[in-house]
Every structure is written in structure tokens, then in C-alpha cells.
Structure 1
């Protein structure tokens, strides 16, 4: 048997494999950026006036949020302890990074978002109720700690091992050095499970001393959500979370849902118990838990639970202190607003005996009347967006027209916890339209429009040339018509991407639009667009794949082959037929990969007799190949990889697949 290094070919195929889930945690950190190096313009008089008017329009109810967000505070880390690093000394999280959020909102930040960012900046250990605590501000999400009879039950151990470990250290500093006996993953998004090994002792887990509880479908969704389009979603997520922006009043101030995600070491623990039925009960370390199975709500796999003995209910991420996303700006499948609303309605009944409601983000709600009011407002908001969008689309309105027309009634709008700090009414209504009607608005002009670059050149010519269009754009900018300025300048930049005057003015326009945005993601998208007009797209890969090793090793190998299918270069594969086999020697699994008609098919446990080449490899080595962790010398001497058949045919097979461009342009062609 011939040994061969397939490192370069295989690892190139899987760059960005989990980028969609981790895109928020990837890319340039922005931690060494100052606002000066980021580049920005001051808030215009129009922006300052708009934000001043927004202060007057903010809700007059829910004025106790600051008291609630501070309630139960026990302590936090200060000084050197406030800076969380990985084993290599790299900065993962700095609790002091958002100290600029203080006092009245500046002209360059929407007052609603500034208020929300200040509340989200309250960090440390908080008591929720008897035996229930939360660590907030150590990551995008909260980590909840429940005291069982013999140890700690951890709910949602954050995004990275480093932040989860630091959060647990804070807990033990105040509550004592007791073991973790169980972990609950409420849902399949990475900021709720990837820090698992920061709180779970591996020896205890292997010995069956730590229970891991998750909703049905968790492992599949957690390791594969958006795997097909991961590269594109990662690039877009860097805009949504402002990864390249400096943190400051002219840059990133928060996501609305929390701060930003932590990027560090990501892992996953395989659940030992699954929740698949609403009403399912488990006794966990002496406490009875009653679960709700809520798939297809905020996440494809999600659970909530009540603890009757403690009169407490955990709503996961189904109802938090912001309007959420029916569609996320990084790109995902649209969520079902009607189903989401129904789950919240069910929680109202399930939580009937609860005096406190807590979630995976933000601060709790205390008092039965307050809980019901809070949940009803969220329930009715999602149903209102659904019902009224459908009403208007049935009257012939398009998604853009509906987004411009739709307004929440005062009963739903006049509460801080329901405002669009994360999701927005505009893009959520478009999501409902897309859910039912798709991309086409029925106008024949929009059935087969020109692509952006071709349309751009025609628009520029129609305006009388670049100089004339730029003059019109400056006039619109000076009038404070920033949406129109952006629309016409976008055509000029796509026609003349080297036109520095156009790019500069468009960047200044995006600055103003970002400053006026109440949604954290909208602000970050606009300011990221401005950043890249000034500095260009990133030159480095979005992600260090080695940080994903813990998750990749738990991912079904079929998922890797799915992403191969969408990286086959159809032009290169015209008229080509290939049959390659991959055998995982430690899993006792074999796969036949065939290319024909410019399509890749994968067949598990098929006959390998006619394969041109057969690659025999262990799962561990295959995973390390994918992330480029294995060196050539190690590969050539490894007994864990062998090749039967033609080396040339294997190389030709691999050459049919392209490495996607994970740093593609967004604001220029």
C-alpha cells in the first residue's frame, strides 16, 4: 500500500466548514483597533437630531430595568482577573472593554441601543432566586448555575472554554468549590454549548458522573447548522457582529442580544439524555425539571424548562429582552413566526406556578403578573408580524412595501424588552414574506433584472456620468437623505470601484445610517460597510480551524461530504467521471464518492470494487487533515493513512473541488 499526503487537497476543501455558526467569533479581532484607525465621521446634524428625537420616542414603561439588571449582584472579576486569555496567552475576553458605555448617549449612537448596551454591560455573578444564579457579561450569552443536592447544574456553558472556565471560577469563588454534576444545553447555537469543556471535568464525564441533557436533534444541528453555506454566512456574520470594528461610541457598542461572542477554544459534549417531549420530567441532582420541547423556534433544536420546587422557569432564547430575529442578517433559513408565538403561549401555561422567569440572555423577570405580561407581549409581537405581513401580502403589497408600512401598535411598541435591538420589525416582516412567497414579488421587472455591475453602469450613464451622480449624491447627503444617498452611490461604486470620492462619501453615509440604527446588527452592518470601503476586505482567512477540533471530531462524516458536493466546480467536472472511496478504519465505515454529470454523489457502505483509489484513514487523522493541523512529515510516516490504487486519480479527483473565497467583497464588486 502506498502512503500519500492528502493534506493540502482535503484541508482546502473544508476551510470555513463551520463558519456560519462561528462567523460571529471569527475574523480580525478588532481588539487592537482604535476608532481613529477604524476611520469614521462625526454624527451629522441630521443624525444628532434623529437620535435626539428617538430619546423622546422611547417607551415610558419598563423603567425598572436598571434595578432588575442589577438585582442579586454578588460580585465580578476586576483587575487582571477581568482579562481572560487562552493557554497561549491570547486575549479572549476583556470585561473592561465596554467601559466607554456610560452616561448619556452620544450623537453617534441610537439612545435605545446605548441604553441596552449599558444594561448588557453589567457583568458578574447574580442571584436569580434561591439556588439559581447567573454569570452575565462574560460572553454573548448567560451561564446559569443551579445548585443541586450534591453539585452544580450548569445551563448553557457559553461560547468558549476560556470564558466558561472563568465564569465557573467566579461561581466557585463565591459559592464554594463543588463539582459540576450536570450540564443542560438549551439549544443548538454555539454560544450555548461550545464552552462545555470549560465546566465539565473530562474524567468525571467519561466515568458517567456528569449528565449532559439536550433537546432532540441537538448534536446534528449543533455540528451542522448552515454547514452547506458556511463560508458565505461567516463572511456576512463578520458584518453582523462588527468583528473588524473598534469598540467605542463610533464603532461596535454591542449586539443588542448581549455583547459580542467570545472567540476561543470551541468544543461540544455528547448528550447523555435527550428531551423529545413537552411535559417530559427529569430529576437532576434532587430537583425535578419539567421540560418543553420547542424545535423550530429560535433554533432548530431547543428546549425550555421549569423547576416547580424553586418556582422558576427558564425560557432559553425564545423570549429575551429584545425583539429577536425571524431571519438573521448573516443568512439562515427563515424561522416560523407562528410556531415561535405558539411556543411562547405554551410557556405561559407551563410557567403558571413560577415567580421568576430567566433566559439565556439578559436579566430575569420577577413576579407572576410581570412574567405573563412580558411573555404575552413577545407572543403577540411575533404573531402580529406574521398576521399583518400576510394580510398585506394578500392585498398585493411587496416585502419592501410591507416593511415600510408596518408599525407595531402602541401596546406592543411601548416596552423596552420588545424593541428591535437585535431583530427588527422591518427585516422580520420581510422574513415572513419570504417564508410564504419567496424572493419574487410578482413584478415582471424583477423577474430577471440585470446583475448589480451591469445595472450600475447603466444607472451612472442615466445620471449623466460619475461626476453628475456624485454631485447628486452629495446634495442628498447634505439633506440628510442617507438611504437615497446610499442607493445611488452604491451604483457608482459598483461601476467604478476605484472611485475614491464615491467610496469616501458612501462610507460617510453608512456612518450616519449606523449611528441612527437602534439594532446592534444593523449598526454593525453599516459601520462594517464603511470600514471596508476605507480599508478593503480582509486579507486573512476568517477562522483558525484548529479552534474547531473539538466540534469537528463530533461531526458526522456525512456532513463533510455534503459540503464537498457544493464545492465541485461544474465547469472543470464537465465530461469527467471519477470513483473514489474513503474508508474510516476506526469507525468501520466506508463511502464511495462518484462524480458524473458535474454532480457528486456519496454512497455509504457501497461496493468499493470499482473505485479508482481508496483512501484508508482514521477519523481523527481525517479531521486533523481538514484543518491543516497535520504536517507533511507526520502524514508521510503515519500508519493511520494509506492509499490503494492510483495516486494520480485521487489528485485529479481533489482538483475538481474549489476552495471558496472566504474574504469576498461585499461593498464593492
Structure 2
């Protein structure tokens, strides 16, 4: 029987499911830019000293970044609603010497990443750089183009391929290779080719073992928080200027468009696996569990080319992204790079899926060796100091790279950062707790902030002390003081403005783009508040349609309000009528369980719908016609119990405050 009306049920279901869907994209709409500060004398001096400590005028990287240029794009890449995803002209301000508001080492790196266009890597291998945060590589096969990593969005990938065809020839796509399970390397697949064409032409779609599981599961459980934090890491809402976003470390910016994925039809399951793809011989190497849970590198012997995917980049990478993720294994990463020295032994060129290539065997070996030793040194020295009894923040202030690594530009912290990576190694082995019982049951920051203000003698005295520290250029202490004031009273405008100015100075001096973007985004939100909207889930419909239902049910369980669910014993059947799948969901001991099973006869209610409607509801795009009046959805049993059941799931929009509470 069809229950009427169904609007309360659909509202509850849709709102609940919105909490489970996020991906790489950051949340929010662009805030109005606040009045950015000038660089202070302390910041100017720090940047000048940084500039003197490095050979910033070394031109080798610039020669490599410009090498093989065929053409530069102009104009913009637009999204489905006409919004600007990529503006190729937005980076024209990055020229000349470093301004006072940008770390000169980061400015140099930003200039290198601003070498945007279509490039010839070697005969039969090309790259498109600057169309997204990642590179799309193209290999000329016997019958068409073999595409490596089709960027983040349908729009950026389609634009990149069209640009390549304009200059290289209008050949068909003959294969797709995904190097790993991060969305900026597969999200644009449907801008390259459709699943129907893959099936009809029997085209290979190649990926490392475990790719689909990792690609569709990453960020589902804690995606709301990760997406919110990624807006800090990537500087999504910052203006493109010398006082805002200049780079992301891996590339210029992310194209936050329509995200999809293609199902691989050929997996690389062995540690080393030979495969001929459209007449080109590849030697694939699986490298899971370091930079990504599922990842591969490869060699093309006939072209003497080694592709390092993302275990290599022209920067120290993250062992733990500031947006959040599981801590990565530094020792395993270093071991893979030791193997890479063997895999690349005959290579004349290295190319990766971020930044620019390296030519010449000796230089390739040096590049890989330096990267290998950065991760191993970070690992070993952190473990040494762990065993000496030091805590994460102490270790982060103690460890310095040796000169041989510190002065090598390809291993400097433009994306990752040594101080943050040290904490990742600590967390990997010992967790976040530092062993001090004072930290076993600390007060929440809002509560401790109030006590600190009482100790200071009130907010005015704390602000006065912070101003004195700011005037001395002691920005770390200034930020710590003001953080207490703002957490105790988020309406204290004087404290918020001084803290914003402090974060700006810290951002202006930061070499890591991720730290700069985080500081400057924090300053922006102190002045303008957090974003008004969360993730645009409509852009992920194509991606979500490939996600197993179990991932969303797990996210539902993680969204259950345990306190509100105490004593409740609801049971609900979920039936997907088109795929013939059915699940039983029930609450027991304030825990939401699920199992794949026939509908339970004693369920409070049964929700029957098609998978496309289910996906639209999860993305928040299902309108009245899609739900209330659809023949593809029906409710049997107690409407009231169904609403109560779904009402126990938290509805988090992903716009929570970070620098204020």
C-alpha cells in the first residue's frame, strides 16, 4: 500500500543521508574578502632570510617546467551552472620577485606550477598541466590516446582532452589508466568517455588492485569534516592574489566540478605485472598503503619513461593531510622509493601526476633518492626522539633536515611539511595521546579558555598581552593567547581581528602552501564567518552511483545520535526494487546495525525505492516529483516510526566553525 502523504518521511530521509556524502571537494560558498594586512617587519625579515638561505635563482627546474611546451590555454573552464572552475588568467600575477606577503621559496614553486599548458614529455608521451590540481598524461597508442588520470571533474577533463586533440590530432580514446584512488585522478573520467562507449568498444580501464573500493569509500564516514577542513588546505575561498591563494603545492587549484568514475575492467593485482595496452608495453608496479591505499606506478620500456604516479612529486608530500586522513606509513613510502630506483634504472625521463618531469638518468636517480631519504629521515628521527621520551610538539621543533635534503627544492615542504609529518609518524605508532596524564581528560577548549581568561584577569588583559607579543613578532604565542579569548567569546571583535592579522603574518611567511592557505582561510573566516553552504552533493551523483550501498549504511550508523537513540528499538527494511537488494536496519543498545537480508516481517516500516532515487536522496537533489509522486518509491508500515527512525540520524551540513566556537 502507498502511504500518503510521504513528505515528512522524505524530508527526514533526505536530510539524514546528506550527512554521508562528501569527497575531495571543500564545502561552502565564497566569503567576501576581508581587509588583508600588509606584511609586518618581522614577516619581511623572515622572508628575506629565507630568500638568502636558498639558491632561488637556480634555473634548472624552470627549464624542466617549460620543457616541451606545445601550447598554453586561455580563458576559463566553466562548471555545469556556469560557475568558474578554472581561470587560466588568474595566475598572471605570479611573476617577478616574491612580494613581501609570500614566502620566496613558495613563490618560486608557485611560478613553476604556473607553467600551464600542453607539453611533450618525450616521443609519444604528453601532459596537460594546470587544467586541474593534477596532471592528465596522454600516451600515443596504436589506435588512439591512452589517458592517464583524467583529473577531478568532468568539465576540466573534457577541456583538457579537447585542447590536446586540437594540437595533437583528433584521435579516439583507446584506454584509461587510473594510477590511484584519490578523486583528483579519476573524478573527470566521464568527461573523457562514457561507460557505454567503454563497453561497446571493449576498451581497457586499468587500475590498481582495490581501486574501486578505496575510490568510493574514502571520506564517506568522516567526509563532512574532511571536506570542511579541505577548504582550509586548498584555500578554496581565497582570492587569487599575493595576499591570498598562490598555489596548492601539487598544482594551482582544484576544479570543483562534476565528479564521476568508471568501473575498471582490468586490475593490476601483482606486485609487478606486464601488460600491452593498445600496442604499448607497460610494466606496472603496485605500491599500496603509502600515498594512497590503492596505487600503481609504471614503466614504458620502449620509451625509457618512468611514471611515478604520486609517490613522487616536486615537493615533500603529506604523511597526514591537514584536512585529515589516516596517517600514512613513512617507512613503507621510503621503501617504495628504493624500489623506484630499480624500476627507473633505464629511464631517460620521469613524469608524475603532479608538477613537472625530470630528464636524465642521473638527475632522476638524485630526485628519487632525495625523496626516499626525506621520508626515511623523518621516520627514523621521529622514532628516535619518541623513544627518548619527547612528545609530538617537542619533536616537531627539534627535527631539522640535513643540509643535503634541506637545500634540495624537490624535497622541500610546499605541500607536506616536516613539522606536520613528524606528528603523523608519532600518531602512526602511538596515537594522538602524548603519555602525559594531564592530557587524558582535558577540558574542552571552550571551558579551558574561560579558565585561562580568569587567570589572565579578563579578555582585555589577554588581548593586551597578545598585542605586545604581536608587536614583537612572536606570532605563535600571539595566536595561542588569542585562541583562548576567541574560544571563550566568539563575539570579541577586537580579539578576532588581531588573531586574523596574526594568522595573515603566519601565512605570509609559510613555505608550505597548505599552511599558508589554512592561516589565510582562518583569517578570512574570523572576519566573515564560516561558509553558508556545505558541499555541492549534486556534482557527485555520477560518483555516488558507483558507491556500494553498504558504505552509506555504515555512514548512517556513524551518524546515529547515541544519546537520543538510547532505549529505542526501531527496525526498518530498505528495499532497492531495481537492483533486487534488500537490507534490514535496526537499533540495538543505541547502535544502528544493518545486514543484507530479506525484509523482516516484524519491521516498523519498509521503504522501497529504486537505486537512482536512493542516490538522488543521498545527494539532496531529489525533488517533490522524484519522491512524493514517484511510482519508484513506496512506504509500507508506520510512517511515524519511519520518521522517528531517520530523525535519530544527525543532519550535519558541513559548515561548522573551526576558528571560533
TM-score w.r.t. the length of structure 2 is 0.97
| Contact 1:200/1:210 (<8 A) preserved | no
Answering whether residue 292 of structure 2 is matched by residue 299 of structure 1, we say yes
Q: Secondary structure at the match of 2:574?
A: strand
Answering whether residue 427 of structure 2 is matched by residue 434 of structure 1, we say yes
State the partner residue of 2:29. 28
Answering whether residue 372 of structure 2 is matched by residue 379 of structure 1, we say yes
Q: Secondary structure at the match of 2:324?
A: coil
Q: CA deviation at 1:661?
A: 4.2
| Contact 1:7/1:630 (<8 A) preserved | no
C-alpha distance in 1, partners of 2:485/2:622? 46
Q: How do 1:321-470 and structure 2 match up within 5 A?
A: 321-470=314-463
Answering whether residue 5 of structure 2 is matched by residue 2 of structure 1, we say no
Q: CA deviation at 1:77?
A: 2.0
Q: How do 1:473-552 and structure 2 match up within 5 A?
A: 473-540=466-533, 542-552=534-544
Q: How do 1:59-70 and structure 2 match up within 5 A?
A: 59=55, 63-70=59-66
Which of 527, 544, 559 is the matching residue for 2:551? 559
State the partner residue of 1:261. 254
State the partner residue of 1:591. 583
State the partner residue of 2:188. 195
C-alpha distance in 2, partners of 1:148/1:234? 37
User: Alpha-carbon deviations, 1:138-177, whole Å to 9, x = none?
Assistant: 1000000000011000000001111111111111111110
C-alpha distance in 2, partners of 1:549/1:114? 37
Q: CA deviation at 1:61?
A: 9.3
C-alpha distance in 2, partners of 1:400/1:615? 50
Q: Secondary structure at the match of 2:20?
A: coil
C-alpha distance in 1, partners of 2:498/2:446? 19
State the partner residue of 2:657. 665
Answering whether residue 17 of structure 2 is matched by residue 14 of structure 1, we say yes
Which of 273, 291, 303 is the matching residue for 1:280? 273
C-alpha distance in 2, partners of 1:655/1:549? 24
State the partner residue of 1:112. 105
State the partner residue of 1:178. 171
| Contact 2:21/2:619 (<8 A) preserved | no
| Contact 1:289/1:307 (<8 A) preserved | yes
Pick closer, same or farther for the CA change 1:446–1:88 going to 2, 3 Å: closer
C-alpha distance in 2, partners of 1:634/1:550? 17
Which of 627, 634, 655 is the matching residue for 1:635? 627
C-alpha distance in 2, partners of 1:7/1:626? 11
Q: CA deviation at 1:38?
A: 3.0
Q: Secondary structure at the match of 1:637?
A: coil
| Contact 2:133/2:253 (<8 A) preserved | yes
What is the total number of aligned residue pairs between the two structures? 658
Which of 580, 600, 604 is the matching residue for 1:608? 600
Q: How do 1:208-227 and structure 2 match up within 5 A?
A: 208-227=201-220
| Contact 1:121/1:137 (<8 A) preserved | yes
Q: CA deviation at 1:60?
A: 6.6
| Contact 1:613/1:647 (<8 A) preserved | yes
| Contact 1:613/1:650 (<8 A) preserved | yes
User: Alpha-carbon deviations, 1:570-615, whole Å to 9, x = none?
Assistant: 1221111011011111222110000121110001125522212111
C-alpha distance in 2, partners of 1:356/1:639? 58
| Contact 2:18/2:653 (<8 A) preserved | no
Q: CA deviation at 1:51?
A: 0.3
Q: CA deviation at 1:448?
A: 1.5
Q: CA deviation at 1:309?
A: 0.8
User: Alpha-carbon deviations, 1:64-108, whole Å to 9, x = none?
Assistant: 000000000000223xxx211134422221111111111000010
Q: CA deviation at 1:234?
A: 1.1
Which of 569, 572, 581 is the matching residue for 1:577? 569
Which of 16, 29, 41 is the matching residue for 2:37? 41
Q: CA deviation at 1:28?
A: 2.1
Q: Secondary structure at the match of 1:38?
A: coil
Q: CA deviation at 1:202?
A: 4.3
| Contact 1:38/1:246 (<8 A) preserved | no
Point out the more displaced range, 172-181 or 629-638: 629-638
Answering whether residue 52 of structure 2 is matched by residue 56 of structure 1, we say yes
Pick closer, same or farther for the CA change 1:16–1:174 going to 2, 3 Å: farther
| Contact 1:385/1:428 (<8 A) preserved | yes
User: Alpha-carbon deviations, 1:268-318, whole Å to 9, x = none?
Assistant: 100010011122111001011110111111011101100101110110000
C-alpha distance in 2, partners of 1:76/1:306? 28
Q: How do 1:115-126 and structure 2 match up within 5 A?
A: 115-126=108-119
| Contact 1:8/1:628 (<8 A) preserved | no
Q: Secondary structure at the match of 2:433?
A: coil
C-alpha distance in 2, partners of 1:609/1:7? 22
Q: Secondary structure at the match of 1:306?
A: strand
C-alpha distance in 2, partners of 1:595/1:463? 48
Q: Secondary structure at the match of 2:435?
A: coil
TM-score w.r.t. the length of structure 1 is 0.96
State the partner residue of 1:644. 636
| Contact 2:205/2:263 (<8 A) preserved | yes
Q: CA deviation at 1:14?
A: 2.5
